């Protein structure tokens, strides 16, 4: 089962790679190189997270702690670099971050199959919303907050992620209705978490939270959607008893 899932992941990455080729083939070499770097680093990150869940979920717990601790530091350092302006924004953002962090920690303690199902659904949405957005996205959603997000990307990523979630049904412990509720919530929370992180950066006139991850920025630039989506699944596990 795990072998088949990994083959599916590789096929998705191959499809994504072809998409990035068509996106970047007419772009300047420097822009294309940055895009391919981002794609390659993302492939490494996905493999690290995938095998941390599959081999022993305790490794995923450690990664969750790193995301939580590093993300909190990035929130603070961005606030500090701006001369401690917008204290109200910082305090509210910190409280939301703490709540989501508790949700992510709860998520990291769930059944291995549910963690894997949620992680794959979220990653597929994240990947294909970018690819379909760059290929077919025209109308921007909130250009002042996140200039690269389009309705085409959101719809495309949602459709691929929901279809994939159904394909991964054997990993989900509940009914098909519960699966669709959880998967739809993962998408909604991941998208909202990404927007919230972008809004925080724009408030402090920053492009990225840090330069820790090549092609991506900081921990919160890469894992904001996992933080929010994981918190949603942690809540669903409590309410739906899955």
Q: Tell me: the pLDDT tens digits for 135-187?
A: 887 899 988 888 888 999 999 999 999 999 999 999 999 999 999 999 999 99
**Which residues are CB-contacts of 95 (< 8 A; sequence separation ≥ 6)?**
none
pLDDT of residue 106 exceeding 90, the answer is: yes
Query: DSSP character for 205?
Result: T
Q: Which long-range contacts (CB under 8 A, 24 or more apart) does 14-23 make?
A: 16/127, 16/128, 16/131, 19/131, 19/132, 19/134, 19/135, 20/131, 22/135, 23/131, 23/134, 23/135
pLDDT of residue 90 exceeding 90, the answer is: yes
Cβ–Cβ < 8 Å for 194, 146: yes
| Mean pLDDT (whole number) for 39-47 | 90
Q: What are phi and psi of 64, to 5 degrees?
A: -60, -40
Cβ–Cβ < 8 Å for 160, 128: yes
Least confident of 89-98, 141-150, 217-226: 141-150
- pLDDT the model gives residue 184: 97
Q: Which residues of 39-69 are buried (b: 16+ CB within 10 A; e: fewer)?
A: beebbebbeebbebbbeebebbbebbeebbe
Query: Within 82-145, where are the H helices?
Result: 87-107, 112-136
173 φψ region: left (φ > 0), alpha (ψ -120 to 50), beta (else): alpha
C-alpha span between 24 and 114 (Å, rounded):
35
C-alpha span between 50 and 144 (Å, rounded):
34
Model pTM above 0.95: no
Give the start-end residues of each E strand in the chain: none
């Amino acid at each position: 089962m795990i072998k088949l899932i990994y083959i599916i992941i590789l096929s998705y990455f191959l499809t994504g790679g072809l998409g990035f080729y068509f996106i970047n083939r007419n772009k300047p070499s420097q822009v294309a190189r940055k895009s391919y770097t981002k794609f390659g680093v993302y492939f490494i990150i996905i493999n690290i997270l995938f095998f941390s869940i599959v081999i022993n979920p305790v490794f995923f717990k450690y990664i969750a702690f790193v995301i939580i601790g590093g993300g909190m530091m990035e929130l603070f350092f961005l606030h500090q670099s701006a001369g401690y302006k917008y204290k109200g924004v910082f305090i509210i953002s910190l409280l939301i971050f703490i709540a989501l962090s508790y949700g992510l920690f709860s998520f990291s303690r769930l059944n291995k199959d549910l963690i894997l199902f949620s992680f794959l659904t979220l990653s597929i949405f994240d990947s294909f919303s970018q690819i379909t957005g760059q290929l077919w996205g025209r109308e921007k959603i909130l250009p002042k907050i996140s200039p690269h997000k389009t309705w085409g990307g959101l719809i495309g990523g949602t459709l691929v992620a929901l279809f994939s979630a159904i394909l991964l049904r054997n990993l989900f412990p509940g009914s098909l209705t519960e699966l669709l509720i959880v998967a739809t919530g993962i998408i909604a929370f991941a998208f909202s978490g990404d927007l919230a992180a972008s809004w925080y950066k724009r408030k402090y006139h920053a492009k990225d939270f840090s330069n820790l991850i090549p092609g991506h920025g900081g921990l919160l630039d890469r894992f904001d959607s996992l933080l929010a989506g994981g918190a949603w699944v942690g809540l669903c596990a409590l309410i739906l008893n899955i």
